[in-house]
Structure 1
Amino acid sequence: MNEPRERTAGTHSGTLRGAASFPVQHQNEEGQHQSINVTESCLSVLFKSYAPSDLEISELAKKRASFTMAWMILHFIKKRKVYLPFLRSDFSGCPHKYGKMLLLLKTLPPSAEHLTIAASTFLAASVRASIAFCNFLERPDGRKLSLPRGTSRRSSTTQQQQGGQQQVQQEVAIKWLKLTDTRAPPNLELGPSQTRRIFASLPSSLVLLDLSGTRAFFNPLYVKGVTELGDAFLSGRLSSLRVLNLSRAIEPGNMRVLCEALSGCDPIPFEHLFFADNDWRHSNAPKQLGTVFQAGHASSLKTLVLDRCGIGGEGLHDICSALEVAAMKQEDKSLPLTALSLKGNQNLDRPQILFGVGSLCALLRAKRMPWLETLSLASCRIFAGSVTELGEVMATGVLRRLQHLDLSGNFLDENSAIALVGGVRASVVPSLSKVTFWDELPSLPWGEGAEVLLSGLLKGVDELPKNLEISNMYIRHPLSADLAHSLCNSHSNALPPFPRLEVFGGAVRTLVGRAGGVNASLRVPELVLDDFFLSGPTARALTNSFTWGKITQSLVCLRAEMPVAFSPQDDSWLSAEDRLALFESFKEFNFPKLTELSFTLGPVHSRETNLIDLDVIALAGAFRKGTLAAVQTLELSGAFGRVGVEALMGEPGQTHLSGLVTLKFAQSYAGTGMGAISAALSDGRLSRLRDLNLGAGGVDDEGMIIFCEAVRSSDLESLQTLDLSGNFPITFRGLSALRDALVERPSSLTSLKLLKLSNCLWVEGHAGFVLFQILSTGTRLPSLQTLDLRIVGRQAWFAFIQNFTAQTAEARFQRVRTRLNLGLNVIG
């Protein structure tokens, strides 16, 4: 009798539990809806005060910690629960696996027209991931997304059938697609099957396709991929494409396949074409590109970039001939080209092939490109005769809309210089705003043509365009006294528009000597005096210029070497009095733009002309006075030591060195003043210092122990480079002190990326194992990327290598191993 009762009771209790579960589930659903509503309200209020941009949302998606936040924002934008503009999505360099990346892609709102993504995320994962990515590319034109809130699919179908005006199905149309491979090694190429899938899946909505740097068609075996791209053009699927970037992406054989496809399809009005950094030497790629232009694809072309493609004179002739044919097909017999760049093609002009640049000049002279605004022929090593012809073409006024002209890295003589001066006059190129005649690092000699050009610009300064800027203006030795006088002459109406004037070698002595003898200061915004010997006459000229304030307001960089002189009878002799007077003159005037100050030793030098403590003390006075407050890089070499270093570092609480970013005391005895340097590092006087160079600076074990006291007392979080190379006295004892200091304070030197111990010959024996102990855990020096151990003791080398190779299985050493710069020459 009890069993049925118990069973009934059990059934009844189960029924109660089941009945009670429905309201609980209902309450949970209500709670979830309430939580979503609260989230929507919070985001709406937040975005009213601060609305993140599309690129900021993309940055959130790239980080593991903020990925969920980015996904939620995209989800609410897609669902129209928050209203934020989202046009560009840049997911390049994301560390996530393909599953998360697909989740992001599926969450993109309809307004996302620009997509930048690393192709290797999917192509290197699996075939399934590759297919999923290709499916995403295929369906943006008709992929159905979420409906507006409160609309069911049945009601949406009814509205469509009734011809309702509300759009309930939306489409994502990818218009800009940039495929990158930022996380892959430089030599990793996309495989043939993967590239074929991608280019067979490109959507018809594409306006821009950017494959720059992917090396997608660098291998002749990848012809299937470029064939699929050609088929997309032939079928008309990419008829909307206006921008094609294949820089560093296609080799000559695949270029032939692509050009044949383009030549056979209906003309596509390309506006911007980029083919830079492709190796087309000894190939017909330029001629095949010309056939594309002749087929009508250049009718709307505005930008053509062919930098560093190895194009020769014949190739340039083929391209210019094709552009001529394309221009003749237009109503006005011209092309709308506004930018033409041929940088780095060093075979454009040769004595036996003179029709390369000549063909370009003929094209310009015939007014086939009247809208040209940018012309770059930098580093093409064009001969002076062709430069002369180009200058004469410009002087005819056929390039009146030209704004930027880059002729750096080409040859000049007297005739070509005169032609260029006539070609940059305001009457023929009134819109010219920037012209460059030299490289940033001049590789061609400063000759007569360069001086004639500078002299012509000085004499015809009134005829130059009003807003012209002449970039990379370099002056090298020899510099005539007349030209130096013209640069510094107070009676000149104005100098040419040099935003930055850089003077090298013996020209420094000539220029500053003339500057000290005129009544006005040198009127250039920025002046660089570089790579010159600080002889006695040069030092006196600089002192005079500083004392009278002739170049103090514009000087941004001063780099000098101590002269090679062994007796006062030498012309380059630098006496101690002249040297001290120069450093004392830094106190006289303020140097508001001087950011780099360097006095170093040359490969051959004499002790009599080196810096001593008195010189450094004088320079320290200028820092304390504030006249050198803008200096960020200070480099001193010579015979100075503890006294000079202590004077420069100053006392605790002083801030005269707070702006220093780089401090170099190489080839000196600054190691004897390690106590002052360590104290300045500890108490914050060098709070911004990133690079500390004490190479061959007389640092010994005692100096290392003192430096380690700074490691123990401060994190030194700003220091990224520590150069101790060439300090022979550093031994096992000094490295042991560094190890012990890092064990006690592992949070110190966490930003250090480069540690140089090369040429420390006394680092031997057990020191190698101590060095390994410093690096054996990820908590000590976690940011280290380069360790230079060239030419250390052989036993120390072997001890480090043996322990290092035994631990290569550790994840940290797998990451660091490829970055270590271990000098294998020590083995021999």
Structure 2
Amino acid sequence: MHNHNGQDRAVGRGGEEENHEEEEEVETALCSLFKHALQGGASEVASGLSSNRHSFGSAWLLLQFIKQGKIRVPVRKLDLSACTLPPRKFFLLLAAFCNSTEELSLGKCAFEGSASPLLCHFFKMVEATRRRRGNAGEIKGGGSCLKTLIFTGGAESVPEVVGAIAAVPAGLESLELRGRLLNPPLLLRSLGAELEGGGKLRGLSSLRVVMDAEGLYGKGTGEKCASRSREPVSDRMPSSDAVRSSFSNSSLVEDSCVKLKREHARLERLAFSGLSCCTQGIGFVPVLVRRRQFVALRSIELRSCVFSAECFRDLMSALGSGGVKVLEKFDLEGSSVCVPISVNRGGRAGRDVAELEMVDESWVLLSKALVVETLPCLRELNLVMENGGNGALSARSAGLLLSSLRNEKDRPPLLESVGLKLGCVSSSDAVTLLSSVPSTQSQRKFLYPFLKILHLSLRKNEALAFFNGLLRDWEGEGAEGDGGGKRGCLPVAELYLRIVAGGDESAAPLAESIRTGLFQSCLRGLTLTVFDDLQSTPVGIEAKIRLLKALGEGPLPMLSFINLRRQNLDDGDLVMLAASVRYGNLGGLRHLNLGGNLFGRHGIEALMGAVCGGGLRFLEILDLSRTRAGEGMEAVAAALSSDHGFSSLHSLHLPVCRVDDEGMRSLSSAFCSTSNTIPSLTVLDLNLNFISSEGLETFLESLLPQTLPSLQCLLMHGVRCNRHTARNLVSQAQAEGKLQSLTDFVV
């Protein structure tokens, strides 16, 4: 009996060894498989597996193998922002968090419901690990602890975010908050508590807050579809009452701002995007700067923010206070100043004069601050702001700012890169912007050699001064040496020109400047616009021909945007433009606006023929609204179905274009084959056309499930089609597997 028991135990041990060997073989095979997959990038593979419900098990195994050292590949970044796992599974993944991970991105599922306490527990685990292993350099395998934490996607309640911030592990270097997930005043108090004194964020060097459109203006006010061109922030301003109720009360600002001791102010980068002084308390920034609480601050980035006039003035005043001596970058790109509309005694509405003067004063304060004694380290200045709120530079303010930048007697900072958006500039200043000055050296010497980005809006007289000054300057130099070989070396890297109601006088020198190659390496955008007043006239026939010929005589590889709206372009003009496209001179265009013109079938056929040859293969937005483009829908369909045509197009605008049922049948031919999928098209605008239910039905029947896979917005408002019938037709098409991405159908 005893022998039998011994034999049984031996057999049992043998079975266990065999099972162990099988497990090792399976583990080795899995490791080999993962190593092969990780050749495409460890961070990308790990993040991709972790974000999918179906690959949750594979993601957990991969992270475990890396954590145990069985796969020696560091995962520096782990992005879980798109993860949709339930809380317990999500934090089972985080339990396998790799010591080598330096950047962690967390999404909405990290805050929802029962996830919030689990997130706090995870942060405590990370902090406990940091304490056990000392500093980051002593971690096994040479890895480093978490340095960057990104919250993105949004949370339903503010306490969830505040609680997560209070629990973040000590030692973070960078914290980023994105999306509709916070109440800024409450958030600032929470951040202040952690930054102050011995708080967990005392070592933070970068703080970035990015609000989306929904978070800034309230739920449901963001864009519903990409077809509606993105409005400047200033065009979606809050009411004047909201502006006046902003953080103008000093006690409220003090309560919301971060109160730091100078010896603990290590923050080097402060970046806010999409915040509003009116609703999110961006007004705390000037307070911090003026009180010298961020003495180590090297970068202030306030992009796409909305300032009140008072807040903007306080910000510029704070810059001149000397509280940011080591500041290297000041960036206001896309931001705007909201000046409320008031009604005068005569009953006329207009911008508040007092606040406009306050904005003007702000620019004067900035001009005075641009001296080496105040901002000795400033190297990058970006003032490409939106103009819609009438907070733009006036001609006087622009002159003072330009004078301070070029006046060597006042010792301006040693700037390396400056971006300006000048909506109003005097003729004398316009001449100097890109002109050179006499120099004994072989190279040209410019008044503004640091000017790298320039958005310039010019009226008739200013445009004449600008272009004629350039031509005189460069023609004089071209007579020496290589006969103009130095042309095309303007200091500016990105030039966006907007000619306002100039007529023939400004268009002719513009055409000559393009023809001579002055803008070959820098022109990014060109707009000719007409205002609805008695003095505004479109470009005349002769100047228009010269301009269109100039576009065809030399390549403009950097040009990405052309707006020729309402310039009376007829078929002959479009034939000339098509020649420029055919020759490849406009091959870099991303956005082409030809709306409001006179061309019809012949012009469209010429342009689309050039497109079929690959002349606009990178075009993303085409606007043919309020033209007779509907007469040439066969040519449009041919360009859409061509292999070399609109391969990158995502927005096609054809409202008020005389598109009828016959045109819809022609358009249908572009989508009736599996080879014509047009994967990039997301917006199709057919508003206010002569389309009946029959035309829509023909179009939908021609579609295949594979065609138009990305179409999100179909606009057919004001067509000759019954609304109920149209919706039923679209619903039926979706039931057949078509238009699966469609989210916005307007009829």
Which TM-score band applies after superposition, normalised by the shorter structure?
0.7 to 0.9
Matched, 1:587 2:535: no
CA shift for structure 1 position 759: 2.5
Change (3 A) 1:611 1:214: closer
Residue of structure 1 aligned with 2:427, choices 470, 480, 493? 480
Say whether the 8 Å CA contact 2:257–2:284 is kept in structure 1. Answer: no
Shift of 1:55: 5.5
Q: Please report the TM-score for the alignment, with normalisation by the length of structure 1.
A: 0.66
How far is 1:131 from its partner?
A: 4.9
Matches within 5 A, 1:454-473: 454=402, 457=405, 468-473=416-421
Alignment of 1:88-167 (within 5 A): 88-112=77-101, 114-118=103-107, 120-121=108-109, 123-126=111-114, 131-140=117-126
Deviations 1:569-620 (A, max 9, x none): x89475434323332232222222222222112xxxxxxx621111111111
Distance 1:553 1:140 in 2: 51
CA distance in 2, matches of 1:534, 1:105: 62
- Equivalent residue, structure 1, for 2:698: 737
CA contact (8 A) 1:755 1:786 kept: yes
Q: d(CA) in 2 for partners of 1:600 and 1:168?
A: 62
Which amino acid in the other structure matches residue 579 of structure 2? G
**Partner residue, 1:649:** 608
1:19/1:736 CA distance change after superposition, 3 Å = farther
Q: Deviations over 1:81-122 (max 9, x none)?
A: 12122454332231111232122122223444654423x536
Cα distance in 1, alignment partners of residues 561 and 414 from structure 2: 31
Question: 1:724, 1:35 → 2: CA distance?
Answer: 58
Q: CA deviation at 1:71?
A: 2.2
Distance in structure 1 (CA, Å) of the matches to 2:308 and 2:63: 49
Distance verdict in 2 for CA 1:99–1:173, change over 3 Å: farther
Query: Which of 676, 694, 702 lines up with 2:654 in the alignment?
Result: 694
After superposition, the Cα gap between the structure-2 partners of 1:463 and 1:622, relative to the gap in structure 1 and judged at 3 Å, is farther
Shift of 1:472: 2.1
Tell me, in whole angstroms, the C-alpha distance in 1 between the residues paired with 2:20 and 2:99.
29
Aligned to 1:600: 565
Q: Does 1:494 align with 2:494?
A: no
Go from structure 1 to structure 2 and tell me whether the alpha carbon gap of 1:344 and 1:750 turns closer, same or farther (over 3 Å shift): closer
Whole-angstrom CA distance in 2 between matches of 1:92 and 1:460:
49
Aligned to 1:666: 625
Aligned with 2:399 (options 440, 448, 451): 451
- Normalising by structure 2, report the TM-score: 0.72
Matched, 1:33 2:4: no
Residue identity opposite 1:38 in structure 2? A
Task: Please give the secondary structure, in 2, of the residue aligned with 1:650.
Answer: helix
1:535 paired to 2:503: yes
- Higher alpha-carbon deviation: 60-69 or 23-32: 23-32
Residue type at the aligned position of 1:102? F
- Stretches of structure 2 that go unaligned for 5 or more consecutive residues are 1-6, 131-137, 212-242, 340-355, 440-444, 478-486
Secondary structure, aligned partner of 1:783: coil
Is 1:182 matched up with 2:153? yes
Count of matched residue positions in the alignment of Structure 1 and Structure 2: 657
Q: Secondary structure at the match of 1:784?
A: coil
Equivalence for 1:58? 47
Q: CA deviation at 1:705?
A: 0.6
Do the aligned residues in 2 keep the contact of 1:315 with 1:356 (CA within 8 Å)? no
| Aligned equivalent of 1:555, options 523, 534, 545 | 523
- How far apart in 2 are the matches of 1:181 and 1:652? 40
Query: What is the aligned partner in structure 2 of residue 13 from structure 1?
Result: none
Query: Structure 2 CA distance, aligned partners of 1:203 and 1:377?
Result: 31
Matches within 5 A, 1:63-462: 63-112=52-101, 114-118=103-107, 120-121=108-109, 123-126=111-114, 131-140=117-126, 175-176=146-147, 178=149, 180=151, 182=153, 184=155, 188-189=156-157, 215=181, 238=200, 242=204, 282=249, 284-288=251-255, 292-293=259-260, 298=264, 300=266, 302=268, 308=276, 323=292, 335-339=295-299, 346=308, 348=310, 361=320, 364=322, 370-374=325-329, 411-412=359-360, 424=370, 431-437=377-383, 439-441=385-387, 443=390, 444-454=392-402, 457=405
**Contact 1:473-1:498 at 8 Å conserved across structures:** no
Distance 2:583 2:529 in 1: 25
Q: Which has the higher contact order (CA 8 A, sep 6+)?
A: 2
User: Which residue type is aligned with residue 555 of structure 1?
Assistant: L
| TM-superposed deviation, 1:290 | 7.6
C-alpha displacement of 1:62: 1.3
Q: Which amino acid aligns with 1:182?
A: G
- After superposition, give the CA deviation of every residue in 1:274-313 in whole Å (9 maximum; x if it has no partner): xxx997564734434789436x774655556787556999
Q: Give the direction of change, closer, same or farther, for the CA distance of 1:498–1:347 in structure 2 (3 Å limit).
A: closer
**Shift in Å, 1:642:** 1.0
- In the alignment, is residue 508 of structure 1 matched against residue 463 of structure 2? yes
* Compared CA separation, residues 654 and 312, structure 1 to 2 (3 A): closer
Q: CA deviation at 1:670?
A: 0.9
Mapped contact 1:614–1:644 kept (Cα < 8 A) = yes
CA contact under 8 A between 2:571 and 2:603: conserved in structure 1? Answer: yes
Contact residue 326 and residue 377 of structure 2 kept, 8 A: no
Deviations 1:607-639 (A, max 9, x none): xx6211111111111222222222232221311
| Cα gap change, 1:239 to 1:345, in 2 (>3 Å) | closer
Distance 1:481 1:321 in 2: 35
**Cα distance between partner residues in 1 of 2:193 and 2:307:** 27
Percent identity of equivalent pairs: 23
Q: Which runs of 5+ in 1 are unaligned?
A: 1-15, 145-166, 250-276, 328-334, 384-407, 602-608, 790-828
Measured on the aligned residues, the alpha-carbon RMSD in Å equals 5.1
- Distance between the aligned counterparts of 1:109 and 1:455, measured in 2? 54
2:471 and 2:26 mapped to 1: Cα distance? Answer: 77
Opposite residue 512 of structure 1, the aligned amino acid is F
Do the aligned partners of 1:688 and 1:718 also contact (CA within 8 Å) in 2?
A: yes
- Computing the radius of gyration from Cα coordinates, the structure with the larger value is 1
